[in-house]
Amino acid sequence: MNAAVDTRAPAPIVQSDPFTREFMDDPYPGFAAMRAAGPVLWSPQYGCYIVARHDDVQRVLSEWQTFSSAAGVGLANFSKEKPWRPPSIVLEADPPLHTRTRTVLARTMTPGVVKALRERFEREAEILVDRVLDMGAFDGITDFAEHYPVKVFPDALGLPEKGRENLLPYGSMVFNSFGPRNEFTEAAMANADSVRGWIMANCTRKALGKDGLGAMIYAAVDSGELTEDEAGMLVRSFLSAGVDTTCNAFGNLLWCLATHPDQWRKLREKPELARNAFEESLRYEGPAQAFFRTTTKDVEIGGIRIAANEKICAFMQSANRDPQRWERADAFDIERRVVGHMGFGTGIHGCVGQPIARLEGEAVFAALARKAKTIELAGEPKRQYNNVLRSFASLPVRVTRA
Ligand code: 4IA
């Protein structure tokens, strides 16, 4: 027997619980402590590893052969416990399945498709901004951030109008379920059956319009790339991933602008900065905090050994504030060169909908920059607690017209 000493260090123990209100109220000191403690931490409470430094998060999200998505991208390990819904065939999948499904999704987000959507998205953005300017004082979440993505994206999909109020509750179920079973998951699952029922019923070919993104997915059935059931599952992916995320991003950017008057001034002077402002908000205050992977074999990160079939949580929002990667990491700067942020993830699972998310962000915040003169908080924001999504439940804002 080889008596060589194993010099690899054990992972330091994580000192905080990231799935609590206290942590979510201000996660940044907690992230800094995680980054300082080591390249990989161990959570005895959740039985998972955590990476929080930019380069390690990037590695875990990039090396899909070692860090698999097929056992789920939440804490639950699908090889050990039954998932709460049939797994996504794109998010919770590895190649070759992932390659086939992602190819179909990507075809619905090409520059040509985005170009065709732009006019409609810009028109709706003007309507949204005019309405809140007429209100003067409004809630940045319920009157603003939650309106637009729930309208324009389902319109583009060809989803019926009726029942769209199920979309955000479904998003809450999906994203809370990536975390541990706790009070947030329990609350999100309150109306699970009726919400899930509506979602599944509206993923079918006959529920969707004839010339939307949904129909493009079903066209891949006719060309032999997908089965009819798989097409429904990919429409479900749109509804899972494409609404709550953008709503939360809008609320977060609105908060950033209302609390950083110098950056708001810059944006007003140059509305063409809207696209980069949206991008910087995904770095500075991104909605998606973390996703998990499962090791497919023994692996080392920064000299720390991790066995096969272990869960690793990659804290994207910590990577987004890592001072080793970013100058003035904690400054919101809409002119920053922001490539490399983890707000859309990275690697083969990097957000497939990002061209549409960017179109939405650019349309809304460019319209706001052109039409509004001042924007400020009119009350205390209230946080929305979710295991994975960072956002506000309420954001009282006051605006004046330019
Ligand atoms: C799916 C990571 C997040 C944006 C996401 C959530 C659900 C799905 C995909 C992505 O159901 O496929």
Q: Are strands 48-51 and 311-315 parallel, antiparallel or unpaired?
A: parallel
CATH code of residue 70 = 1.10.630.10
pLDDT for the residue 9: 77
Query: Is there an atom of ligand 1 within 6 Å of 245 CB?
Result: yes
- Cβ distance 248 to 145 under 8 Å? yes
CA of 241 to the centre of ligand 1 (A): 4
- What is the total count of domains within the chain? 1
Q: Which of 88, 199, 293, 317 to mutate to test the pocket of ligand 1 (most atoms within 8 A of CB)?
A: 88
The burial class, CB within 10 Å (0-12 / 13-18 / 19+), for 59 is buried
> Which ligand 1 atom minimizes the distance to the CA of 242?
4
pLDDT score for 282: 98
Angle at 157 between CA 155 and CA 160, to 5 degrees: 60
Ligand 1 pocket test: pick from 91, 102, 289 the residue with the most ligand atoms within 8 Å of its Cβ: 91
- Given a contact cutoff of 8 angstroms between Cβ atoms, the answer to whether 319 and 342 are in contact is yes
Distance 351 CA to ligand 1 centre (A): 9
In a domain, 13, yes or no: no
Question: What DSSP assignment string belongs to 203-253?
Answer: TSGGGS-SSSHHHHHHHHHHTTSS-HHHHHHHHHHHHHHSSHHHHHHHHHH
Indicate the burial class of 29 (C-beta count within 10 angstroms; 0-12, 13-18, 19 or more): exposed
Whole-angstrom distance, CA of residue 344 vs CA of residue 287: 9
Q: Tell whether ligand 1 has an atom less than 6 A from the beta carbon of residue 90.
A: yes
Instruction: Assess if residue 11 is contained within a domain.
Output: no
Q: What is the structure's pLDDT at 3?
A: 52
Q: Specify if 3 maps to a domain.
A: no
Distance from residue 311's CA to the centre of ligand 1 (Å): 18
Length of the chain: 402
63 within a domain of the structure (yes/no):
yes
d(CA 85, CA 203): 15
Range of the domain at 103: 21-401
In angstroms, the CA 251 to CA 390 distance is: 10
Q: Ligand 1: distance of its center to the CA of 101 in Å?
A: 13
Query: Could you list the pLDDT tens digit for every one of the 402 residues in the chain?
Result: 455 666 667 899 999 999 999 999 999 999 999 999 999 999 999 999 999 999 999 999 999 999 999 999 999 999 999 999 999 999 999 999 999 999 999 999 999 999 999 999 999 999 999 999 999 999 999 999 999 999 999 999 999 999 999 999 999 999 999 999 999 999 999 889 999 999 999 999 999 999 999 999 999 999 999 999 999 999 999 999 999 999 999 999 999 999 999 999 999 999 999 999 999 999 999 999 999 999 999 999 999 999 999 999 999 999 999 999 999 999 999 999 999 999 999 999 999 999 999 999 999 999 999 999 999 999 999 999 999 999 999 999 999 999
Ligand 1 centroid to Cα of residue 134, in Å, is 35
Asked if residue 242 is part of any domain, the answer here is yes
Q: Which ligand 1 atom minimizes the distance to the CA of 245?
A: 4
Query: 346 CB under 6 A from ligand 1?
Result: no
9 within some domain: no
For ligand 1, atom 2: residue with the closest CA: 241
- The closest of 378, 368, 369 to 137, measured between CA atoms, is 378
Q: How many angstroms is it from 220 CA to the middle of ligand 1?
A: 20
Residue nearest to atom 12 of ligand 1 (CA): 237
Residue 174, ligand 1, Cβ within 6 A: yes
Asked, for residue 239, whether it belongs to a domain, the answer is: yes
Residue 84 lies in a domain: yes
Q: How far is the CA of 237 from the centre of ligand 1 (A)?
A: 6
